[in-house]
């Protein structure tokens, strides 16, 4: 393993520990507090009538939830990913893995991403940083990321602010749209693009749609803020004050999850959309679905349960799913197709 590979793996482990031990929430709210689901006292249905099943990219899911990408590339991550995958398999949900760049650069780390043996039926997303297309990666590396873990699709993530705040960040985002288009046309599987926590704008979403992506994850502000994660990263005493000042200025940066979702849905009326960024319960998930999302992604609420057991993750998700069912029941929505903007009020 090269010195650069070791540094990349160490950074991933540091990110994980910071998320578990520090307050790294965005200073921006999700924006979902501006909306309320319309309560129907006479829903004219039974709770058992609620059907949360859906189809995403040709795959049938029992509920429109995605266990969003969290980790990988460190040996400690293997157990976490497998526990998350077991829960996804048990509940019939989708799951994405953390960036696979570490394993592409050090094949000894591939086992930290292997989950197909415990989750043979899940909709599984591979993951790479889109900016790596400007640092030597191309269709071969993207295909390798997909094939090495038996994924159904590839997610390319966008994180310009995080890269800009990392002392060793990759900050050349020039010409990425064309390179993403190349990957979309070269790979035999769907390619999606996601932001990591500061939201997609209508302009970016339109450009990505034109590039041929199969779907978008808005990754809005309101949950984990990677500027705050970078603020807590180890630095030499000489650099710590500067790093802290740089990151702190961006504590309230980004488009909220609700604002990004609304903008992207308007810009891309028919494109499959995933809403993520600070979603912690089934009621918030229902709001996102009513605002136009097809799936709802969650990461941080599942991280601590994943350090315990697959059962803990499954139990946490079961509560969220029950909340979603009750929210649909109390709005009179029998199916996800029924859960639309007519079920929302805008709070003053």
Q: What's the pLDDT tens digit per position in 55-103?
A: 999 999 999 999 999 888 888 899 999 999 999 999 999 999 999 999 9
User: Which residues does 279 contact at the CB level (< 8 Å), separation at least 6?
Assistant: 30, 32, 223, 257, 285, 288, 296, 297, 298
| Number of domains the chain contains | 1
Q: Is the pLDDT of residue 2 over 50?
A: no
Q: What's the pLDDT tens digit per position in 100-119?
A: 999 999 999 999 999 999 99
Where is pLDDT greater, at 135 or 348?
Answer: 135
The domain in which residue 265 lies consists of 3-15+24-346
- 3-state secondary structure at position 106: coil
Of the listed ranges 8-17, 22-31, 135-144, the least confidently predicted one is: 8-17
Question: 140: buried, middle or exposed (CB in 10 Å: 19+, 13-18, 0-12)?
Answer: exposed
Contact of 86 with 95, CB cutoff 8 Å: no
Of the listed ranges 4-13, 131-140, 190-199, the least confidently predicted one is: 4-13
Contact of 260 with 199, CB cutoff 8 Å: yes
Paired tokens of 4: 């650069």
pLDDT computed for residue 26 by the predictor: 79
pLDDT range class, residue 44, cuts 50, 70, 90: very high
The CATH number for 138's domain is 3.20.20.70
Which among 287, 291, 279, 261 has a CA at the least distance from the CA of 68?
279
């Amino acid at each position: 393993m090269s010195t650069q590979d070791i540094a990349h793996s160490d950074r991933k482990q540091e990110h994980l520990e910071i998320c578990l031990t520090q307050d790294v929430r965005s200073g921006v709210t999700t924006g979902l507090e501006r909306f309320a689901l319309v309560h129907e006292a006479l829903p004219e249905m039974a709770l058992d009538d609620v059907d949360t099943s859906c189809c995403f990219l040709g795959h049938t899911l029992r509920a429109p939830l995605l266990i969003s990408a969290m980790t990988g590339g460190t040996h400690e991550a293997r157990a976490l990913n497998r526990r998350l995958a077991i829960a996804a398999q048990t509940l019939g949900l989708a799951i994405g893995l953390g960036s696979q760049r570490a394993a592409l650069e050090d094949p000894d780390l591939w086992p930290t991403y292997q989950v197909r043996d415990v989750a043979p039926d899940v909709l599984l997303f591979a993951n790479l940083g889109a900016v790596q297309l400007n640092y030597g990666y191309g269709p071969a590396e993207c295909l390798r990321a997909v094939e090495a873990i038996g994924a159904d699709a590839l997610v390319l993530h966008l994180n310009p602010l995080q890269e800009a705040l990392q002392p060793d960040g990759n900050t050349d985002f020039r010409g990425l749209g064309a390179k993403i288009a190349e990957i979309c046309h070269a790979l035999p599987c769907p390619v999606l693009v996601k932001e990591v926590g500061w939201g997609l704008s209508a302009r970016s979403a339109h450009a990505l749609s034109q590039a041929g992506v199969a779907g978008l994850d808005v990754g809005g502000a309101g949950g984990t803020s990677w500027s705050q994660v970078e603020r807590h990263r180890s630095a030499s005493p000489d650099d710590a004050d500067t790093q802290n000042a740089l990151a702190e200025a961006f504590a309230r940066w980004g488009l909220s999850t609700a604002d990004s979702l609304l903008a992207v849905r308007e810009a891309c009326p028919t494109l499959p959309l995933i809403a993520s960024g600070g979603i912690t319960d089934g009621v918030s998930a229902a709001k996102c679905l009513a605002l136009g999302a097809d799936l709802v992604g969650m990461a941080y609420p599942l991280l601590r349960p994943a350090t315990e057991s697959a059962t803990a993750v499954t139990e946490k998700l079961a509560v969220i799913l029950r909340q979603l069912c009750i929210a649909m029941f109390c709005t009179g929505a029998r199916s996800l197709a029924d859960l639309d903007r007519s079920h929302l009020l805008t709070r003053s």
